Structures are given as C-alpha cells and as structure tokens.
C-alpha cells in the first residue's frame, strides 16, 4: 500500500464528483427510490441532487458543457434507474452503474460505415493495474476514450472491460499520471501506473479541514512524502530540510534527539520566539524550540501521512494567537477501507563525524613553545631577567623530544555510532471501519561517546461508521523516549569545549592504560595552563538522562446531518510525564578544580503535564449555479496544566548510591506549576465563482488566560482571493498551460508565547531569618496589566503555474510580514527597584520572495524529477521601545556580542573591528595615545568612536549579520526500471556565524590550546607574523580575546543532505513470493558532504544557552553533525 493509493482514497472520501470505487455491495439503481422533481434544471445540479439523496456518485467532469443541458422530471417516488432513463431520453446520455458509481456516456448515434461495422469485434479484456512498486492499485478508473463506458479496478487491481480493437483505454488515478493503451488483439492488458509528482488534484490539509490544491487561496506548501521517506533521521523536521521554500530549518546541534530551529519567513519576534506552531492531527502540539529534546521526537516519522506548511496570514489566521510564525500541520496515518495492508520497514546504519569541521589546534611542540613564550614574559616582568630552562616545567624543556602524535582530545571522545529504525504497520479496513496499528523502535547512539537516544512508539487508530451518517474515531499514540545527554553547545567548560582547548602534551591515560580522571597541567611557578577533567572520563562517569513518556489521544464523532452539513466534535489530549536525572560523581572535577572525594551531587526533575482540547466544528457546503460555498464555524476550548518539581542534592559521601536518599542534604529545590487556558471561536468561508474566482475569509477570536482581563479576547481576521486565469475562456487556446493562478491575501495572526502570568504583579516570596527563626519575606513585583500578544500582519501575493501537461511547475510568492507589539524585556532604570520589565513595543518587518519550481524533464522508463526552491528574506527592526535605542544581547567576558537596532536585522554581531597588531611604524606616529594596551605586537582594534582610546562596548560596532541572503533546496529523483536515486541538496548563501569558542581558542594568555592560525602570531619585531595575529599578551587583563571581526566567519554552505539509492524488487518476482506485495531495498547517506568556508563543526551551530532570536548565529562547542550511512528495507504484505 503506497501513500498514493491512500491519498487517492482520502481524496475520494472527501471530494464528491469523483469516482468512488470500493468493491462493495452497492445497492442497485433499480432498488433505490427517490422523491425528486425539477423543472428546466441544469443537468449538473440534478446529478448533485441525486448524489445527495442517494449513495450513488456520478463520474463527471464538472466543466463539461453537456452538463449544462436543462432537464425536467416530476415524480413522487421514482427508482434511480427510471429517473436516469428519463434523463437519458432528454439528453441522449447512457448511464452505467459500477458499484456506487455511475458513469455516463453519449448514446452512440454516430452511424458507422459498413466496413467499420464489419471490423468491430468486441473483445473482453482483463488485466491488473499496479503501481511502480508492483503493488496492485484498486480504484483506478478505466474508460474507453471518447466514450463514457468504463470500469474501476478492484481490490486486487483487477478489472474486466468490453472494448473493441483500436479503442484507446484511459487509465486514471489520483496521484498518478494518466496512461493510455490502445487495444490491439490482446485480451489481457496489465498496466503499471507512474506516480505523478505534481498532481494537480492533490488534496492539502489546511487548518480545520482539507482543500483541493487548486482551490487554495493562501500560501500553503506540502512536503513530498516519497522524497523524504527513507531519510535516516529521528524526527520529521530533519526530513523537511530543503523541501519547502522559505522554511529555514537549522540543525543547531547534532546530538541524538536534539531540536532544530525552524523559522518560516524569518524572525518576526524579539521576545516571544520564532518557532512555528505544530499541529498534529488537529492538536496544536508545541511551539518553541527545545535544543535538548526535540518535541517532534515523540512523533514517529514512519507514522506520518502528510505534512503541510501554512505560511501566509490567510492560512495561519485560523490559528489566531498562535499562528504568527507559521503553522506546520502533521497528519498521521489512518487505515484504508476494505483493505488489509501490512508493512514492515527496517533501517540500520553507522554515523561518523566528518574530518571537515574538526578543530585544528597547536600540536605538542607548538603548544610547549607557547607556554615557554608566556613564561619568558612573566620572568622578564617579575624578575627582570631572561628565562632559563629551569623556569619551564620539565615537560616543556626539550622541544625536540615533543614530536609524534599530540593528544587529539576531540577525537578521543568521538566514535562511530550505530543507528537503527524499525517500524511495523498494520492497516485493516472493512466497508465501514478501518484500523491502523503501528509499532516502532528507533535507536541512535551518539557520535559523542556515552550519548544516545532510544524511542518506543505505538499508534492505534480506529474509525468506524456507527450509522450511515455518524462516524466515530479514536486513536492513541503512546511514545517513550530515553535519552543520554552530555553537556555540549554551552561553553568552554563542557566536554566538547574542553576537548578542543585541552593540553595536547598530556596523555588521557596512565601508563597502565587506565583513564586519568583529571589532567594536571605541567606546572611552573610563573605560569601554567589550565588543569582540567579528562573529557572522556567525564562522559563515562557522569550521568545525564531524560526519560519521557507522551501520549497523544484523539476521539471524535462526525455527524452528517445532511450530506452537505457536517458536525464534528473532537477531544484531543496530550499526556506527558518525564524524569530528568543528572549525577556528577566526586571523581569528576572541573577546570582547575581537581576532583574531591565526597562531593558528588545530583539533580532530579519530575515533570508531568496534561493538555486537553475540545473542538466543535460545523461545515456547510452549498453550490448553485456558478456559485459554490464552503463554510466552517468552530468553537474550541483548551486547557494546559504542567507541574515541575526539581531537587538538587549534595554532597554524597560516596558515589556508590546515587539516589537522593544517599545524599547528605537537599541543597535546593523548587516546584513550578504552569497553567493556561484558551477559548476560541473561529469561522471560514470559501467561495468560488465559476471555479475561477476564489475567495476565502477567515476569522478567529482567542480568549486566553495569558492576557489581562481588560484585553482578554484577541481578534484575528484574514481575507484572500485567487483568480484561476487558466480557466478563463480566453485562455482555452493556450494548451501548454494547465494551471495559472494568481493569489493575494492579507491577514493578522498572533504570537502568545508571552509566558503564563506576566501581566500579574506577583508577590515573590523569599526567606529571611531572625535569630534562629526562619521567616518568609515578600516583595511586590512590577505589573503590566496591558500586556498582550504580539501581532503580525502579513500580505502575500503569489502565482502558481503548471504547464506542459503538468510536467513542470513554477510558484512564486512575495510577502511582507510586519510584527507589532513585540514582547520586549525592556531595560529600565534601577531606581525603580527593578532592572527590566516586560512590555509590548517595537516592530519588525520581514519582506521576501519565495520561488519553487520543478518538473519532470524526462519521463518514461528512465524518469527524472527535479524540484528546487529558493527564498530571499530581508529582516528589519522598524522600531524599538522609547528609552532603548538598541538591544544588546549575548555575553562574552561580561560584554555583549549582539546588537539589535532600528533599521537593521535582528541580532547583528557586535564587537571590535580587528585591525591587526601594533607595529613600530604605527607607534612612532605622532599623536598615538599611549594607553597601557598600546604596545608593539599587541592586538590593534579600531577606535570606532575616535576618542583615542579603545574601550569595550564604546568602540564596538556591527561586525556581521547572521541572516542569510538566501536559502535554497534542490531535490533530484531519478528512476530507471527498478532503481531509483534521490539527491537532496540544501544550503544558504550569505549570512555569518560567530564562533564563541574563539574567546578561548584565540586566547593567547597560555591557559588554553589555541587554533593553529596562531602559529603566525607576532613573536618579535624581527618576526612579526602575518600582521593579524597578535603576540602573547604582556598585560593582564589581556585584550587579545575580545569579540572581534576575527570571530565572524562566512556561514554560507551547501550540503548534500541526502543521497539514497533504492531498488524495488520487480512485481514479477514478488508475485512469486505470494504473500509479499512489494519490497524495496535502499542505501542512503545523510549529510554526505558540506561545502563551507566555516572552520567550526557546523555553520548552523547555536549555543544552547543563548537566545536563538536575539543572539542568533552564535556557535559554541557545537555537537558535530554526523554523516550517516545506512541500508534499509521496506516490505509490504
């Protein structure tokens, strides 16, 4: 069972006017009676009426002109057969029933010549229709071209049909290209349908419903599930990389289970986050990034049926105060009626850290020289003499002995790690019920030793018709995740940080081969590098684990009050429970902090939450004449309750037992309760006139507990219009254009990630003690009663263009998104008693163009599909608050690293401009201000404010921009016979990254190992190096490791994100295996190669403890992205 057949059914379930083709016991047309009367009514409307009154469906193309014929019938009780006969007599049409489906054709009135009559011999043809994997395709319509006689393939893909030699059989099915076969003398015609990548009639999931793609008025993108099916990654967001224009998915960390940062159409918020809203099976699931554990890990990607991305305001406004950053709609699989399908997939592979992006540090000898240089200076400064060998630690005295391999600490803590994924899926459907069951197991060990993640997932979904107009559905989706973490992406003290700057002279092992817990740097009275805990030992001895359980529950009842009036009520729930445990044994030390017995400490967190949502929606469809309406009304109510308890215990007398009871004391503790609730009213009207002029209006009102009572309800309206130019009569002559649609939309959506209680002035409780009596001490916070949601207004103009028989497509969108009332943490004068206050002010604008294009340049046995996308976005801060002209953010040595100012994009890099080193020539100039930091060989920064002195912050300026000029994705799929090859490329052009670890690896004070570039440092007047890299600093504090242009590197990159080679066992072979319907083997490489000038591990790296919005592009000890090579198999029974 491929996804496409499923798609077809989904489509057929939802959209009338299309063949409904189950092999079912349908009623006969002569057994069904209707009350109907009409006078001079259009045939099309009459047929619709019959559809509404009966279970029958007509196979018609609505724009055919014969449907405009007028007919009249008056009858109180008439069988459908008689009715159709009557209509047939008035219109010269023949009708034919296939199951529930009625097709029609013109009665053959063409008189044939005698010869023709003689030649015509009716042949009974039978055959099997299958898809390209060999799986039988049920529900394919087969029509004799030029007639309306035809049939539909059954559950085994089999069909029989009467035709004549020379007739052309047209095989069509949703999601597949039409196939035409001319009948010769054969009696068996087997057809393999080819999937149509850009099927026009695709159904897309939108907020609170589905729509035919051609009817969509907003900017809505879908992800081609087939392209990304076999990617060896753990969550769906990683699969979407490079697939959708304007969706920037940054893999900020390579840790197993780490979250990604997703931005749709840029950053629109300064204080409330920029991550989109995920909606899983109708449940607003989560928004906000969690770098430690990706919330999407809880959705097994194998269970996902479709992904839709809502980008413009007209499609996101229906999600109101949560839609401003775009919406990602995820729909999980359901079963199929009348079918049983069992699939099993398995994937296993190995992950490695590529050589590119690994640190390149001083080797043993070079490091020893640096230590000696430092000591030389110290001896000279303190004792005013030249250093002798005795002043150096013994290890550094003989430089020539320091040859051979230096300790590669980075490599020491990495490994080749396995990854595996298994999924079993059972779908069983009867005429009125369907069930979907799946079991999944995923295991990814980290390329950083002692890290990894394991997932057990299950899904059970049942849907059944209680009566003909009442449908009940229930599903549960429990998932359990166990994750082993290590501290990375934090600072130089984390394991990756240490492994980069660690002393290359020291060995991680004792002579007996045991691991050293703590590395004492070679010591001198004058200077020594930092001592540190062995990072491998830390990884091995320290425990950091998170265990999480989550269940997504869904129950709904759908009631077709009338065929065109449907009511649905549903209950969605998310239950979550997790447990975090960290134990730092006393054998683990820190930088210059040797391990001390009896100092073990633990941290425990228990979390649970329950989130429920009740939704009631009413759908009403109405068509008359050229008008067609589809309307939606809804009322939803949601509540969240989360509770978090944290206990930190220390010290532990020994490390034998790590549970809290063994600790001597609980050193700190806390409990947090978070609650919010929401009541919403929503509505939408889709109107189409002649199927050419489309119009959508949506509305949502959100009432939220997060808003103050004066401001409780937020209104989010939107409108959109589209013009299908290609449907105009004047366009009918242009045959190469299949679809040309112009779209425009405008609307408002919001961002309510403002915290749960910020509008209240809370009374914070502290403690104080009088004598031996402990008391509570309270203080009153600063309130902001008018605090409210952020608001985003967006205009979108787009064009959809399909041409060459839908073999090529082109899509372009222009948008302008302006976010107002932004949530800002405003710095306020300390004399108020507070240093900052949360307010709504300021605005940011994102303007951009998105282009997606692609096609099938070569079709046939060798097939080539290509699709690409590119997005340009310009971000600009339009205003900030009254008393802050700039927002400084980030932190390096107590100084900022980023700045946001009006007129520039959010979060520009901020620091010194490096001009090189002070030279004797420069210093001999008159007028050089002789401050202590001005001496030959020291670092020279630009005096930005021109006061003659170099000062932190005062002489900082904008030194880079983290926002890319454009992002792109390119996907190629080739297939030849049973082989297929897919290549996904993505990347960005422009944009920069700041490597925060350079505060350490560019720090020449001799505490740390430094980048090899520092071999070209200034050493003396005679040996001034490359003029960029300064000498070992003479003064403390030293200037050399300040934020400067040196840290800012180009983040442009192109990545071969995935390459997959697949082989589908031909159906002829699998047929012989009886039970097996299809099978596919593949070999895939994820992150095959990254082309970038960035020297760090990952140009998308982002420190976990830095705000992703205000401190973007700040890479710190990034967990490297691995290259994954794996093989997999998909079996279908």
Partner 1 sequence: MFHHKLNYCIMKKLLYIVLLFTITSCADDFLEIYPDTTLSEGNFYQSQEEFILLANGCYIPLRDIEKNTHWVISELISDNTSFQYNILTGEAVRGVIDQFIITADNRAYSEFWNLSYNGINRTNKLLVEIDRPEVEWSDLAYKSRSSGEAYFLRALYYFNLVRQFGGVPLVLTPISAQEALQVGRVSEEEIYASIISDLNSAIEQFSMATQLEENGRANLYSSHGLLGKVYLTMKEYDNAEKSLKKVIDSNKYSLLGNYEDLYDPSNKDYTETLFSVQYSENSRELSNRFIFMFAPWSSKGSITQRPNINIISAGWNQPTMDLLNAFEEGDKRKDVSIKFWNGPDWDGTVRDIPYTGKFKPPISAPDDRTGDNFPILRYSDVLLMYAEALNQQGKTGEAIFYVQQVRDRAGLEASLAGFGQAQLEELIAKERQVEFCFENQRWYDLKRTDKALEVMTAHGKRELAQKEFLYNSAYQIDPHKLLAPLPAEQILINSLTQNPGY
852-881 residues in contact with partner 1 (CB under 8 A) are: none
211-270 residues in contact with partner 1 (CB under 8 A) are: none
End-to-end CA distance of the chain: 8
Nearer to partner 1, 55 or 952 (CB): 952
Nearer to partner 1, 415 or 639 (CB): 639
Q: What is the DSSP letter of 12?
A: H
| Residue from 117, 184, 656, 765 in contact with partner 1 (CB under 8 A) | 765
> Contact letters (x/-) for partner 1, 814-833, by CB under 8 A?
------------xxxxxxxx
Nearer to partner 1, 515 or 780 (CB): 780
Dihedral sign of CA atoms 980, 859, 59, 200 in order: positive
User: Which range of residues in 130-138, 451-459, 661-669, 1068-1076 is near partner 1 by CB under 8 A?
Assistant: 661-669
| Least spacing, CB of residue 774 vs partner 1, in Å | 6
| Least spacing, CB of residue 506 vs partner 1, in Å | 16
For β-strands 898-901 and 886-889, DSSP reports them as: antiparallel
Could you say whether residue 339 binds partner 1 (CB under 8 A)? no
| Least spacing, CB of residue 645 vs partner 1, in Å | 11
Could you say whether residue 290 binds partner 1 (CB under 8 A)? no
| Least spacing, CB of residue 880 vs partner 1, in Å | 13
Nearer to partner 1, 1034 or 1095 (CB): 1034
969-1008 residues in contact with partner 1 (CB under 8 A) are: 1007
Q: How far apart, in whole angstroms, are the C-alpha atoms of residue 782 and residue 762?
A: 8
875 burial class (0-12, 13-18, 19+ CB within 10 angstroms)? Answer: buried
**Alpha-carbon dihedral of residues 375, 381, 387, 391, nearest 10 degrees?**
-50
Could you say whether residue 635 binds partner 1 (CB under 8 A)? yes
User: Which range of residues in 249-257, 340-348, 457-465, 526-534 is near partner 1 by CB under 8 A?
Assistant: 526-534
| Residue from 96, 482, 605, 705 in contact with partner 1 (CB under 8 A) | 705
| Least spacing, CB of residue 613 vs partner 1, in Å | 13
Beta bridge partners of 572: 554, 613
- Is 365 in a helix, a strand, or coil? helix
Listed in order, strand segments (DSSP E) in 541-599 are 543-562, 565-584
Q: Are 283 and 419 in contact (CB under 8 A)?
A: no
Could you say whether residue 676 binds partner 1 (CB under 8 A)? yes
Q: How far apart, in whole angstroms, are the C-alpha atoms of residue 23 and residue 74?
A: 33
Could you say whether residue 596 binds partner 1 (CB under 8 A)? yes
- Tell me the three-class secondary structure of 422-457, residue by residue: EEEEEEEECCCEEEEEEEEEEEEECCECCCEEEEEE
Q: How far apart, in whole angstroms, are the C-alpha atoms of residue 558 and residue 616?
A: 10
Q: Nearest to residue 447, comparing CAs of 1098, 945, 882?
A: 1098
Could you say whether residue 834 binds partner 1 (CB under 8 A)? yes
| Least spacing, CB of residue 771 vs partner 1, in Å | 4
User: Which range of residues in 197-205, 409-417, 585-593, 1020-1028 is near partner 1 by CB under 8 A?
Assistant: 585-593
**Integer angstrom CA distances of residue 239 from 243, 560, 968:** 8, 37, 15
774-793 residues in contact with partner 1 (CB under 8 A) are: 774-781, 783
| Residue from 380, 943, 952, 1013 in contact with partner 1 (CB under 8 A) | 952
Nearer to partner 1, 146 or 594 (CB): 594
Nearer to partner 1, 124 or 778 (CB): 778
Could you say whether residue 467 binds partner 1 (CB under 8 A)? no
Q: How far apart, in whole angstroms, are the C-alpha atoms of residue 598 and residue 706?
A: 46
User: Which range of residues in 563-571, 1022-1030, 1048-1056, 1085-1093 is near partner 1 by CB under 8 A?
Assistant: 563-571
User: Which range of residues in 131-139, 261-269, 459-467, 633-641 is near partner 1 by CB under 8 A?
Assistant: 633-641
Could you say whether residue 735 binds partner 1 (CB under 8 A)? no
Q: From the centroid of its chain, how far is CA 546? A: 22
User: Which range of residues in 128-136, 523-531, 545-553, 1119-1127 is near partner 1 by CB under 8 A?
Assistant: 523-531
In the block, which residue shows the tokens 């220390």? 650
For β-strands 1048-1050 and 908-911, DSSP reports them as: unpaired
Beta bridge partners of 94: 105
Nearer to partner 1, 659 or 835 (CB): 835
Q: Are 777 and 311 in contact (CB under 8 A)?
A: no
345-404 residues in contact with partner 1 (CB under 8 A) are: 381-382
Could you say whether residue 1118 binds partner 1 (CB under 8 A)? no
| Residue from 122, 597, 734, 1073 in contact with partner 1 (CB under 8 A) | 597
Q: What is the DSSP letter of 856?
A: E
| Least spacing, CB of residue 674 vs partner 1, in Å | 8
Q: How many residues belong to the site for partner 1 (CB under 8 A)?
A: 91
> Quick count: other Cβ atoms within 10 Å of Cβ 197?
21
1046-1085 residues in contact with partner 1 (CB under 8 A) are: none
Could you say whether residue 671 binds partner 1 (CB under 8 A)? yes
Q: How far apart, in whole angstroms, are the C-alpha atoms of residue 240 and residue 915?
A: 42
Nearer to partner 1, 567 or 693 (CB): 567
Q: How far apart, in whole angstroms, are the C-alpha atoms of residue 506 and residue 531?
A: 10
| Least spacing, CB of residue 754 vs partner 1, in Å | 14
Q: How far apart, in whole angstroms, are the C-alpha atoms of residue 797 and residue 415?
A: 49
Nearer to partner 1, 839 or 906 (CB): 839
Could you say whether residue 677 binds partner 1 (CB under 8 A)? yes
Question: Which run of H or of E encompasses 209?
Answer: strand 209-212
Nearer to partner 1, 227 or 582 (CB): 582
| Residue from 487, 503, 528, 856 in contact with partner 1 (CB under 8 A) | 528
Q: Are 910 and 1126 in contact (CB under 8 A)?
A: no
Q: Are 61 and 15 in contact (CB under 8 A)?
A: no
Could you say whether residue 764 binds partner 1 (CB under 8 A)? yes
| Residue from 123, 399, 618, 853 in contact with partner 1 (CB under 8 A) | 618
- Is 66 in a helix, a strand, or coil? helix
User: Which range of residues in 306-314, 853-861, 968-976, 1029-1037 is near partner 1 by CB under 8 A?
Assistant: 1029-1037
Q: Nearest to residue 443, comparing CAs of 478, 416, 419?
A: 419
Structure tokens at 533: 């805990």
User: Which range of residues in 118-126, 670-678, 738-746, 898-906 is near partner 1 by CB under 8 A?
Assistant: 670-678
16-75 residues in contact with partner 1 (CB under 8 A) are: 35
880-919 residues in contact with partner 1 (CB under 8 A) are: 883-884, 894
| Least spacing, CB of residue 758 vs partner 1, in Å | 10
Could you say whether residue 948 binds partner 1 (CB under 8 A)? no
| Residue from 837, 845, 900, 1102 in contact with partner 1 (CB under 8 A) | 837
Could you say whether residue 569 binds partner 1 (CB under 8 A)? yes
**Integer angstrom CA distances of residue 720 from 309, 325, 627, 977:** 17, 18, 17, 44
Could you say whether residue 675 binds partner 1 (CB under 8 A)? yes
Q: Residue 899: CB partners within 8 Å, gap ≥ 6?
A: 886, 887, 888, 889, 907, 908, 910, 956, 958
Nearer to partner 1, 665 or 1075 (CB): 665
| Residue from 561, 622, 928, 1073 in contact with partner 1 (CB under 8 A) | 561
Q: Are 1132 and 133 in contact (CB under 8 A)?
A: yes
Alpha-helix runs per DSSP H in 54-146:
80-91, 114-119
Q: How far apart, in whole angstroms, are the C-alpha atoms of residue 954 and residue 1050?
A: 25
Crossing angle of helices 43-53/80-91, nearest 10°? 170
- Tell me the three-class secondary structure of 495-556, residue by residue: HHHHHHHCCCCCCCECCCCCECCEECCCCCCCCCCCCEECHHHHHHHCEEEEEEEEEEEEEE
Nearer to partner 1, 764 or 1105 (CB): 764
């Amino acid at each position: 069972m491929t996804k496409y057949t499923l798609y077809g059914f989904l489509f057929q379930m939802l959209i009338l006017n299309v063949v409904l083709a189950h092999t079912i016991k349908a009623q006969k047309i002569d057994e069904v009676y209707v009350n109907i009367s009409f006078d001079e009514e259009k045939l099309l409307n009459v047929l619709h009426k019959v559809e509404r009154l009966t279970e029958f469906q007509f196979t018609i193309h609505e724009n055919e002109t014969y449907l405009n014929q007028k007919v009249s019938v008056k009858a109180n009780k008439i069988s459908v057969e008689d009715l159709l006969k009557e209509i047939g007599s008035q219109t010269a049409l023949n009708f034919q029933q296939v199951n529930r489906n009625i097709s029609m054709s013109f009665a053959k009135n063409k008189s044939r010549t005698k010869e023709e009559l003689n030649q015509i011999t009716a042949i009974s043809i039978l055959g099997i229709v299958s898809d390209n994997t060999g799986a039988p395709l049920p529900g394919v319509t087969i029509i004799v071209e030029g007639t309306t006689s035809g049939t539909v393939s059954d559950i085994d893909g089999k069909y029989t049909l009467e035709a004549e030699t020379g007739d052309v059989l047209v095989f069509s099915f949703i999601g597949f290209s039409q196939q035409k076969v001319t009948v010769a003398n054969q009696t068996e015609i087997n057809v393999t349908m080819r999937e149509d990548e850009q099927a026009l009639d695709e159904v897309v999931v939108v907020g609170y419903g589905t729509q035919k793609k051609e009817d969509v008025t907003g900017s809505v993108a879908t992800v081609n599930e087939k392209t990304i099916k076999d990617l060896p990654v753990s969550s769906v967001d990683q699969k979407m990389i490079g697939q959708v224009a304007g969706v920037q998915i940054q893999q900020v960390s390579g840790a197993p289970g780490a979250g990604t940062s997703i931005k749709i159409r840029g950053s629109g918020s300064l204080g409330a986050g920029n991550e989109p809203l995920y909606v899983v099976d109708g449940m607003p699931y989560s928004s906000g990034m969690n770098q430690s554990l990706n919330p999407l890990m809880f959705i097994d990607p194998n269970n996902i049926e479709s992904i839709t991305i809502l980008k413009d305001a007209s499609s996101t406004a229906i999600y109101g105060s949560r839609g401003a950053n775009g919406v990602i709609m995820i729909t999980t699989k359901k079963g199929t009626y009348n079918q049983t399908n069992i699939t099993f997939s398995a994937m296993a592979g190995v992950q490695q850290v590529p050589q590119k992006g690994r640190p390149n540090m001083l080797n043993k000898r070079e490091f020893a020289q640096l230590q000696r240089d430092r000591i030389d200076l110290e001896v000279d400064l303190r004792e005013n003499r030249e250093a002798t060998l005795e002043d150096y630690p013994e290890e550094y005295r003989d430089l020539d002995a320091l040859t051979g391999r230096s300790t590669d600490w980075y490599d020491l803590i990495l490994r080749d790690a396995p990854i595996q994924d298994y999924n079993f899926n059972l779908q069983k459907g009867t005429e009125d019920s369907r069930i979907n069951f799946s079991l999944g197991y995923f295991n990814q060990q980290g390329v950083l030793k002692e890290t990894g993640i394991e997932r057990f997932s299950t899904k059970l979904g049942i849907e059944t018709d209680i009566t003909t107009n009442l449908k009940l559905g229930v599903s549960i989706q429990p998932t359990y995740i166990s994750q082993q973490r290590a501290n990375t992406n934090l600072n130089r003290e984390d394991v990756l940080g240490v492994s980069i700057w660690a002393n290359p002279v020291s060995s991680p092992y004792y002579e007996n081969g045991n691991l050293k817990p703590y590395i004492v740097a070679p010591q001198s009275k004058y200077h020594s590098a930092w001592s540190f805990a062995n990072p491998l030992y830390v990884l091995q001895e320290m425990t950091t684990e998170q265990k999480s359980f989550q269940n997504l529950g869904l129950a709904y009842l759908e009631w077709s009050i009338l065929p065109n009036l449907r009511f649905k009520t549903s209950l969605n729930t998310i239950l979550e429970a997790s447990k975090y445990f960290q134990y730092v044994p006393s054998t683990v030390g820190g930088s210059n902090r040797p391990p001390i017995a009896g100092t073990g400490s633990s941290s425990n967190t228990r979390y649970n939450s329950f989130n429920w949502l009740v939704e009631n929606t009413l759908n009403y469809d109405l068509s008359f004449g050229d008008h067609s309406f589809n309307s939606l009304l809804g009322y939803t109510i949601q509540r969240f309750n989360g509770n978090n308890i944290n206990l930190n215990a220390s010290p532990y007398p020994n490390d034998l037992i790590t549970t809290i009871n063994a600790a001597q004391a609980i050193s700190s503790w806390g409990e947090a309760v978070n609650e919010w609730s929401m009541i919403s009213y929503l509505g939408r009207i889709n109107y189409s006139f002649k199927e050419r002029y489309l119009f959508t209006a949506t509305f949502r009102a959100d009432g939220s507990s997060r808003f103050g009572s004066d401001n409780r309800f937020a209104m989010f309206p939107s409108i959109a219009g589209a013009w299908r130019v290609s449907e105009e009569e004047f366009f009918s002559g242009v045959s190469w254009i299949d679809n040309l649609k112009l779209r425009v939309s405008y609307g408002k959506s919001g961002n309510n990630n403002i915290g749960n209680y910020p509008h209240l002035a809370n009374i914070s409780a502290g403690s104080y003690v009088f004598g031996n009596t402990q008391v509570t001490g309270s203080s009153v916070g600063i309130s902001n009663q008018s605090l409210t949601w952020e608001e985003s207004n967006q205009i979108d103009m787009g064009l959809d263009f399909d041409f060459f028989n839908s073999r090529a497509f082109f899509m372009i969108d222009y948008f302008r998104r302006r976010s107002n009332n932004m949530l800002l943490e405003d710095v306020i004068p300390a004399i108020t008693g507070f240093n900052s206050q949360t307010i709504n002010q300021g605005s940011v604008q994102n303007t951009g163009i998105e282009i997606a294009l692609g096609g099938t340049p070569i079709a046939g046995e060798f097939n080539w599909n290509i699709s690409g996308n590119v997005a340009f976005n310009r971000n600009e801060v339009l205003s900030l608050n009254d008393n802050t002209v700039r927002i400084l953010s980030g932190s390096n040595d107590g100084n900022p690293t980023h700045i946001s100012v009006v007129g520039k994009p959010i979060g520009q890099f901020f620091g010194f401009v490096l001009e090189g080193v002070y030279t004797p020539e420069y210093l001999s100039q008159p007028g050089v201000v002789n401050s202590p930091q001005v001496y030959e060989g020291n670092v020279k920064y630009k005096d930005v404010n021109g006061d003659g002195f170099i000062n932190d912050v005062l002489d900082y300026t904008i030194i880079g921009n983290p926002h890319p000029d454009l992002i792109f994705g390119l996907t190629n799929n080739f297939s030849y016979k049973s082989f297929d090859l897919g290549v996904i490329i993505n990347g960005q052009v422009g944009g920069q990254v700041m490597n925060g670890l350079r505060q350490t690896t560019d720090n020449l004070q001799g505490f740390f190992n430094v980048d090899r570039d520092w071999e070209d440092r200034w050493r003396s007047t005679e040996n001034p190096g490359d003029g960029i890299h300064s000498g070992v600093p003479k003064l403390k504090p030293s200037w050399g490791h300040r934020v400067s242009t040196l840290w800012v590197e180009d983040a442009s990159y192109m990545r071969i994100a995935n390459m997959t080679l697949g082989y589908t066992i031909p159906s002829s072979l699998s047929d012989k295996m009886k039970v097996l319907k299809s099978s596919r083997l593949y070999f895939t490489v994820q992150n095959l190669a990254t082309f970038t000038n960035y020297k760090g591990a990952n140009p998308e790296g982002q420190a976990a403890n830095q705000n992703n919005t205000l401190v973007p592009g700040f890479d710190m000890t990034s967990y490297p992205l691995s290259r994954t090579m794996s093989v997999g198999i998909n079996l279908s029974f």
